[in-house]
Amino acid sequence: MQKEYKAVFLDKDGTIVDNSGYPYIIPTDQVLINDIIEGLQYLQKKGYKLFIISNQSWISKGRLSQEQVEVIFQSVFKKLKEYDIKIAGHYYCPHKKSEDCECRKPKVKLILQAAAEHSLNLNESIFIGDMEMDISAGRNAGMKTVLVLTGMGSKYNSKIKPDHVIKNVNQINEVIR
């Protein structure tokens, strides 16, 4: 039987990178260094593989090419690598909400794809994000959910309650032991 791994799925914009310039500055590679590094290092030490699941509708809106979005992701990975943080995979939906695709959060196609490609046990995994679509995606995939108050998290007002609420990713050790 193949070993299954536990994972942490992270939203990108507002969770691991600063999106305070939205919608004028999109997307950004400005990593929230003071809010995420210790937390991501902690999760890796606990044996979690790290993944990014993101909606990047700028592609279908014609504001950015897929190549431009990929350059931004690679820049984020390079910055995280300086702190020995490895992102095991990244997946993003290029579609607009109106296209009603299967890969846009809160739907779970990209999460299931990551789980299949990396032998992940979703019941042992966590989704961390700053918006309702992140919390819903995690719930829909059967994971524990964590809302961070960075990005749009401080304005979170949804009937869909996360399992945990923390100030930023660095506080993940308060909910994951």
Contacts of 92 (CB under 8 A, 6+ apart): 12, 52, 53, 54, 55, 56, 69, 73, 110
Give the CATH number of domain 7-174: 3.40.50.1000
- Which sequence positions are flagged as catalytic? 11, 13
Domain extents for the chain? 7-174
Model confidence over 145-174: pLDDT tens digits?
Answer: 999 999 999 999 999 999 999 999 999 999
The verdict on pTM exceeding 0.85 is yes
Cβ burial of 1 (10 Å; 0-12, 13-18, 19+) is exposed
